[in-house]
Structures are given as C-alpha cells and as structure tokens.
Amino acid sequence: MVTDTNAVKSKRYEWFPFVNTIFLILISLLCVLPLIHIIAVSFSSSAAASAGYVKLWPVDFTLASYKYTASRNEFWESMLVSLQRIGMGTPLSLLLTILVAYPLSKETNAFRFRSIYAWIFFITMLFNGGLIPWYITIKEYGLLDSIWALVLPGAVPVFSIVLLLNFFREIPKELEEAAVMDGASHWRIMWTIFVPISKPALATLALFSLVEHWNNWFDGLLLMGNPSNYPLQSYIQTIVIQQNLSNMSRDAMLNMALISDRTLKASQIFLGSLPIILAYPFLQKYFVKGIVLGSVKG
C-alpha cells in the first residue's frame, strides 16, 4: 500500500511542471500582448487604427507616426532629460546604497547602533511625510526646475538597502576576517571584497533604479515648471492625457491629418519603453540570482 501511495503521489507531481508551464505562459501572454497591440497600432494607418481593425498585427503598414514623433524637438529634449536622469541617478543610488548597507550588515557587537539606524531607515518604508512636505522640502533647497529635483529625492531607496545588506550578510565571514588579519580597513574590505562578490545584487538594484527613474512621470509634472525640462514619461503623459493642438504649427497640423491620435500615442509609448526593453536582457542573468540570494536572511 505504501508503494501504491507513493506511485500515486509521483504521478500527481509529474503533472505539476506541465500545469505550471501553461500557467506561466498565460501570465506571460497577459504581459506581452498589450505591448504587441501597441506596436501594431503604431505601425498601422490612421483609418485602420481609428476603426479598431488593428489587433496584434499592423494594418496598412506605415511609419507616419514615427516620422512625426522623430520630427518633434520636444520628444528628443525629454528623452535627453530622462537619459541624464538615469546617468546621474542610478550610479548615485548604487553608491549611497552600498555605503549604507555595508555598516548595517554588521552584527551589533561590531556596530553598536546598528539596530537603531536600521529602524530609522525601515520606518520610512511604513510612514510617509506626505506630498506637500516633500514638495516644500525640495522647494526650500532650491531644486525646483533642475535635474537634481529628479535625482536627489529618491537617491537612497530603503528597499534596495534592505536587499543589499541581506546579501552582504550572506558573504562568508572568513573572507572579512582574513582581510582584517592582513591589515585591511573596512573601506578596503567593502570595495575589494563585498562589492565584487555582490555583482548579481548590484545589477538587480541597478535595474530597479533604472526602471524607477525611467518610468516616473509624476515628479516631473510637479517639480518642473518649464515643459522643456520634462523627462520623457512626463512628456508622454501630457501627450496621452491632454494633447494641446493649439500650439502646433501648420506643418504639424497637416501631419496630424495623416495620422490618428491613437497611432501617435502608441508610437511614443513604444519608443518610451524601448530603452528598458533593450537593457533588461543584459541584466536578466543577474536579476533572479540577486533577488533570491539577497532575500534569504532576515
């Protein structure tokens, strides 16, 4: 009877990989199909998109929407602001995360006030000062309408600190003890041992920071008084939600007659997400490993 029971259980478990694979494929399709639809709309003609004929494949293929988008100086200016934000924000965020996570990863006997500082950071994940105090603080520091207003407020992500300090705590202590015996300081131990070993976690945090900076549009609308300083997602949001036709030139109005509002928005949304889509495959091999290894210990 024991053998029969084990045989029945093994047969049940044989079905699990198949069912799990089908489930994950369905979830993947739910994520990918909307993007495919947007791409198809962006390459379709105005009449086909307006009539709702476009599903997952372009109808009456045309590049008119992309040509119009490429002719807009505002689009490329906002793209440059977003690239500048990523170029400044991601390295700064990683640097500050490393500098905070390393001491917090030590035991209490090595860093007496470790628990106090850890709680100070953790409380910020539970309680928020609010939108108005956040805005007033940035205003009083004179950061409004500058790139620093988009970079500095989120330069110390607490979630990334928690992830990285847990990763640091998994590094064998024998490595640090051997370095201390050789006379290495904490500064040298951090940069020559902990940081090189933590490449999977750092790549994951870099991807988090990159996506956060690229996708964030709300702070751009609040903190940038001049539309020319909008990051790309803030610019796209204004186009998608409230497109202003009164400021368009005569040539722009003629171009708009050849394309529809749907194809224009779809082309800009796709171009806005393209850099992240291209960057993700290069960091994917580190992504899962960094998440799993960095979240085992509490």
Q: Within a domain: residue 12?
A: no
Q: Within a domain: residue 48?
A: no
Cα 184 to Cα 176: distance, rounded to the nearest angstrom: 9
- Decide: 283 and 207 in contact? Cβ < 8 Å: yes
Average pLDDT for 97-110? 89
DSSP code for 249: -
pLDDT in tens, 172-226: 888 888 888 888 888 999 999 999 988 888 888 888 898 889 888 888 989 998 8
Structural domain boundaries, residue 165: 64-298
Mean pLDDT is lowest, of 39-43, 189-193, 217-221, 252-256, for 252-256
- Decide: 32 and 44 in contact? Cβ < 8 Å: no
Q: Within a domain: residue 43?
A: no
- Decide: 39 and 266 in contact? Cβ < 8 Å: yes
- What is the share, in percent, of the chain residues with pLDDT greater than 70? 83
Mean pLDDT is lowest, of 18-22, 144-148, 253-257, for 253-257
Q: How far is CA 101 from the centre of its chain?
A: 20
pLDDT in tens, 111-148: 888 888 888 888 888 888 888 999 999 999 999 999 99
**The CATH number of the domain where 141 resides is what?**
1.10.3720.10
Q: Within a domain: residue 280?
A: yes
Q: How many domains does the chain have?
A: 1
Average pLDDT for 90-105? 93
User: Residue 238: pLDDT band by 50, 70, 90 thresholds?
Assistant: confident
- Decide: 44 and 58 in contact? Cβ < 8 Å: yes
- Decide: 42 and 65 in contact? Cβ < 8 Å: yes
User: Residue 237: pLDDT band by 50, 70, 90 thresholds?
Assistant: confident
The pTM for the full model equals 0.76
Q: Within a domain: residue 212?
A: yes
Q: Within a domain: residue 113?
A: yes
User: Residue 150: pLDDT band by 50, 70, 90 thresholds?
Assistant: very high
The beta strands (E) that lie in 45-143 are given as: none
> What's the one-letter identity of residue 120?
I
Q: Within a domain: residue 57?
A: no
Summary mean pLDDT of the chain: 81
Q: What is the pLDDT of residue 94?
A: 94
Cα 248 to Cα 239: distance, rounded to the nearest angstrom: 12
Q: Within a domain: residue 14?
A: no
Is pLDDT of 4 > 70? no
Token pair recorded at residue 270: 């796709």
Mean pLDDT is lowest, of 11-15, 85-89, 213-217, 268-272, for 11-15
DSSP code for 1: -
- Decide: 189 and 177 in contact? Cβ < 8 Å: no
Query: Burial letters for 115-128: b for 16+ Cβ neighbours within 10 Å, e otherwise?
Result: eeebeebeeeeeee
Is pLDDT of 280 > 70? yes
Cα 156 to Cα 92: distance, rounded to the nearest angstrom: 9
Token pair recorded at residue 90: 């991601």
